[in-house]
Structure 1
Amino acid sequence: MVEGKKNKRVIILGAGVTGLSAGIRYLDNGCDVFILEKADHAGGLARTVVRGDYRLDIGPHHLFSQNEAILQEMIDLFEKDELISFSRDAKIYFHDRFLDYPLTAKNVIFNMGLKHAFFTSISVVWTSLLKLFTKKKREVNFKDWATVNFGNYLYGIFFKPYTEQFWGVSCEELSLDCIPQTSKMSFAKTLKLIFLKKFEKESLSVAERETSLTLYYPIKGIGAIAEKLKKSFLSKGGKIKLSCDVSELITNKDGSFNIHYQYERETIVDGADLVLSTIPISSLTQILRPLASPEIIQRA
């Protein structure tokens, strides 16, 4: 990401976990790094609000990554007594029953009732037989993935209504990229977890690790991650300016950038060799100069 960019001035939009982590990388590679943040605090959505003796996370978070190097790097930010470990136990309410999330074969067989277990099993077997005698279909959208991995029956009674309620779009329109990697289970993969009490960590998929192995959480709330990253970023010479409202991101002919932003009722213009944006794409398209096309703005 930053190889060959030493001594470059880098401006990062957004002081969330991504922006702070990237800023540390740039600093380690000899760059001059400046982060602009619209809010009055760092951390973005991975934030913990403190009210007296109580702490409240903005949304449910925990420490887990399919990249073990990244996970270890996050763990190393903390002392041992600053993290707690636990096994995931997320539930979805379905037909007066609580089911594990992500859904597993064990749930289907033992928790969804005899009728659903029977028809799901028949559907999965039928789908598996079809795959043996037909050309493999490329999975393009959520419906493709769900029907291939769990069968048409379970897709119809569970995945379709739940997913369309959550996302607000049809499963045929929902890209596979919108599905968290930790949710990409299959009936066949999770079936083995019913019978195998011991298994090698290396043999598990990311989704299986998510439902079977250890997750971590900072005792002072998920916002502690951003605070640790912020402390590391500043200690390495990085600079952060909060409560900034960026109005224009101008790309110059020589490939450099100028950024216009408001800070304490003053309009400031700053320059950079590189700009990294971690803000919402919908916000980024509004400040680009030259202007993004109407099509790009609409899609954002």
Structure 2
Amino acid sequence: MERTPLIIGAGPAGLSAGLELTRRGVIPTILESTGGIGGLARTQVDGDWRIDPGGHRFFTRSEEVADLWRSLLPEDQWLAVPRSSAMLVNNRYVRYPLMGRDLLLQLAVGDVVRGAGGYAWARLRRQTRIERRETSFQEWGRSEFGRHWYELFFDGYVRKTWLADPENIASDWANQRIKPIGWQLSKNEQAVDQDVFRYPRYGPGQLWEAAAKKLADAGVDIRQNAMATSAHYDGRTWTVATDRGDIVTGDALFSSMPLRLLVTMLDPAPPEHIRAVADQLRHRSLITVAVALRKHYDIPYNWVYTPGPNFHVGRIQNYRRWSQDLCPKGFNGTYLGFEYFLLPDQDLWLANEHGLGAIVERDLHQLGFKNPQIERVMITRSKFAYPIHDPARDRSVVRIRDYLREHYPSLHPIGRNGMHHYDNQDHAMLSAIRSVGKYFGENVDPWQVNTDLSYQEQGLRR
């Protein structure tokens, strides 16, 4: 039987599914709703300027993923970038991941005393009580860092970037994303020195554009600006329509579009209770404002987190510390990316360059740049950037997953949005690769990708 799979989405998951299918001798059709390649991991280009919307560190423990990355770009197109992140609290830069030495030397005396006391109390409680596993991020953070240091570094940041009360956010992602305090007291902490990541010279999209070219050379039809609007399944064949009038058919459907939207466009439609739980799934949107300043400011970090209420921005990328090739040759100023998190229906989503520019200028002043000479402003919008892990997410996703397995056996949700799971880039890829294996009859469960409680990003994977 001829295999004719369809893929929705040309981000890391969709393209990885395409690469694995072609490796096995099958040519899929890919539908991408935008005019870009790479999803959130794209590189937006504006003249000689390049924008990474989300700051993508390339790290994996999977040799399978590492081999795929290396196969797409030659070695001279990869950079080894030391991780140098910090949190800006009370006008003080504190390195992140948090190190005990920095907390003791860089914070104000009051923050040291209150923080150390709260941390010691939290440690004592964990050792002397049998506590249930923390279910909310707030519970997890107070238990891990103590109340004061949790509130100083994480509470405001999570409220700002997740757009929800930390008490109403599940904690399951925290162990993978947030490292505990390191208490090595020497000046040359070996763990920090080894924290190095790969990064494509011209931004993350360079890798995914290479993947798209490889697929096109193999005969894969990648249709951009083709948003899927309906997906009909007759028990054997999928028929997908797009907003530009395409009608494509296939024997299987791999979908990296938001799971909530996928459920709404299925035909025959799932029952009302499945559509209701799907409607509860929420996403965060992201607006990245890239700002080039004529003056050089010494920010010795590639990523700055801003948990304080005095900042509107959630994170700031220092692009020249990611790659000098993200800005024009000869540019000696400062090139920053301001990341603003919002819900998809918030007014800020529709703000024009002037309105966003005013917000950025206020944040620049908070950074201490009193008279910044702005040379260029560039804006990138990502509507469904990150799935929100709230208490309803686990129950809803399991019910949807089980229903889809039973009634649409040749439907394969993949990736961060397709499975509504806050995955790393390599996990999104693995979910797609495993789904292709399932398509070929292998006894694998793609939903088990990235279920480890701990997955810390550290060290250069070669």
Identify the residue that residue 248 of structure 1 maps to in structure 2: 230
After superposing the two structures, state which structure 1 stretch, 58-67 or 122-131, moved more.
58-67
Q: Distance in 2 between matches of 1:103 and 1:224?
A: 32
Q: Given that residues 39 and 243 in structure 1 are in contact (C-alpha distance below 8 angstroms), is that contact kept between their aligned partners in structure 2? A: yes
Q: Given that residues 262 and 268 in structure 1 are in contact (C-alpha distance below 8 angstroms), is that contact kept between their aligned partners in structure 2? A: yes
Deviations 1:223-273 (A, max 9, x none): 101111112222333221112121101232x2532212243xxx3332222
Mark the CA change 1:107 to 1:291 in structure 2 (over 3 Å): closer, same or farther: farther
Amino acid at match of 2:248: D
Deviations 1:17-73 (A, max 9, x none): 221011111222233311011112322222222233332233322322343542343
Q: Distance in 2 between matches of 1:66 and 1:151?
A: 31
1:35-184 aligned at under 5 Å gives the runs 35-179=30-174, 181=176, 183-184=177-178
Q: Distance in 2 between matches of 1:58 and 1:259?
A: 29
Mark the CA change 1:56 to 1:268 in structure 2 (over 3 Å): closer, same or farther: closer
After superposing the two structures, state which structure 1 stretch, 35-44 or 55-64, moved more.
55-64
Deviations 1:142-192 (A, max 9, x none): 1122122111221233321221122111111111245482x32112xx113
Identify the residue that residue 186 of structure 1 maps to in structure 2: 180
| Count of residues in correspondence between the two structures | 278
Mark the CA change 1:106 to 1:23 in structure 2 (over 3 Å): closer, same or farther: farther
SS of residue paired to 2:73: coil
Identify the residue that residue 295 of structure 1 maps to in structure 2: 276
Identify the residue that residue 286 of structure 1 maps to in structure 2: 264
Q: Distance in 2 between matches of 1:69 and 1:107?
A: 37
Q: Distance in 2 between matches of 1:259 and 1:27?
A: 21
Deviations 1:96-139 (A, max 9, x none): 11122333333322212222222222222222222222113212
After superposing the two structures, state which structure 1 stretch, 89-98 or 59-68, moved more.
59-68
Identify the residue that residue 218 of structure 1 maps to in structure 2: 200
Identify the residue that residue 390 of structure 2 maps to in structure 1: none
Amino acid at match of 2:257: I
- Segments of 5+ residues of structure 2 without an aligned counterpart are 282-462
Q: Distance in 2 between matches of 1:22 and 1:180?
A: 28
Q: Distance in 1 between matches of 2:103 and 2:2?
A: 57
Amino acid at match of 1:126: W
Q: Given that residues 89 and 152 in structure 2 are in contact (C-alpha distance below 8 angstroms), is that contact kept between their aligned partners in structure 1? A: no
Amino acid at match of 2:123: S
Q: Distance in 1 between matches of 2:269 and 2:221?
A: 28
Deviations 1:74-112 (A, max 9, x none): 134222221221211122210111122333333322212
Amino acid at match of 2:277: I
Identify the residue that residue 11 of structure 2 maps to in structure 1: 16
Amino acid at match of 1:281: L
Q: Distance in 2 between matches of 1:65 and 1:116?
A: 35
Q: Given that residues 251 and 289 in structure 1 are in contact (C-alpha distance below 8 angstroms), is that contact kept between their aligned partners in structure 2? A: yes
**TM-score scaled by structure 1?**
0.82
Mark the CA change 1:139 to 1:26 in structure 2 (over 3 Å): closer, same or farther: farther
SS of residue paired to 1:270: strand
After superposing the two structures, state which structure 1 stretch, 33-42 or 228-237, moved more.
228-237
Q: Distance in 1 between matches of 2:88 and 2:209?
A: 35
